[in-house]
Amino acid sequence: MPEGHTLRRLADDLTLAFAGRRVRVSSPQGRFEAEARQLDGAVLEGADSAGKHLFVELEGERFIHVHLGLIGGFAVHADVAQVPDPVGQVRLRLVTADPGPTAYADLRGATRCDLVGPAGRDLAISKLGADPLRADADVAKAWRRISASPRGIGDLLMDQTVIAGVGNVYRAEVLFRHRIHPLRPGRTLRRGQFRALWDDLVVLMGEGVRSGRIDTVRPEHTPEAMGREPRRDDHGGEVYVYRRTGQPCLVCGTPVRTAVLVGRNLFWCSKCQPTFRSRALGSAQHAREDGHG
């Protein structure tokens, strides 16, 4: 499933290609046909994202609310000589309809494509947690949720009502970068640890918006610095543990481990990310060993 940086980059691309311009709106597949007729010929004001949700705004405070799901894609083509016939199941097509460079965009495979007003947009956003790519992110609320939860931090990072936009890749990588085991209960994290995780997500996901890739390894662990082969994976980018099951950790050489948590694969290094042991648990263990427990 596309992670938050993909939606932010898509919103930027749509804004750059269409903002301020009148557009033809259609639904070659037919599933958005009635809504497309209402929007056809309107000026596209811009696009924005929140977590893994996209909002394309057209004049009259109307928003196309899109969630790509697992297989969805929204391809934006700017400054083209001509617009080709739709190929495949195109649920939504946008085409510039005024003088200037021609652009078009095709949406396929999305799990959601709805026409909503400001209240619908605001309701969708209100259900989301803090987005590392948004300036209005409520970081304090995310910390309150995490610091009170017995759930593993690896689970909490993927809960879109806690932190929005983080997917399996960023989850695995940011936890590795901070040497935190994915099953460590959220309530055992210190505020400084959470803030470091958050700040790192802001930087990593922001770089993902700029590059279109997820690159998480530090300079000293790049293929060039280590003299190793670059990653060969359909996700692209250099990572520490994601989809590297059984391969040696780039830092310590320990084989990367994997397990399933809430239906998604976890990836971690058992040496760099040791199992969490609380002080209370440790004290109780020592007491039993000393015969006082």
Catalytic amino acids? Answer: 2-3, 52, 264
Q: Which residues contact 50 (CB under 8 A, 6 or more apart)?
A: 124, 125, 128, 131, 134, 164, 165
d(CA 126, CA 122): 6
Of 169, 145, 173, 172, nearest in space to 159 by CA: 145
Write the burial class of residue 217 (CB in 10 Å: 0-12 exposed, 13-18 middle, 19+ buried): buried
d(CA 3, CA 162): 15
Residue with tokens 């040791």: 274
d(CA 54, CA 64): 8
Are the C-beta atoms of residues 250 and 226 closer than 8 Å to each other? yes
Write the burial class of residue 169 (CB in 10 Å: 0-12 exposed, 13-18 middle, 19+ buried): buried
Of 43, 76, 75, 78, nearest in space to 61 by CA: 43
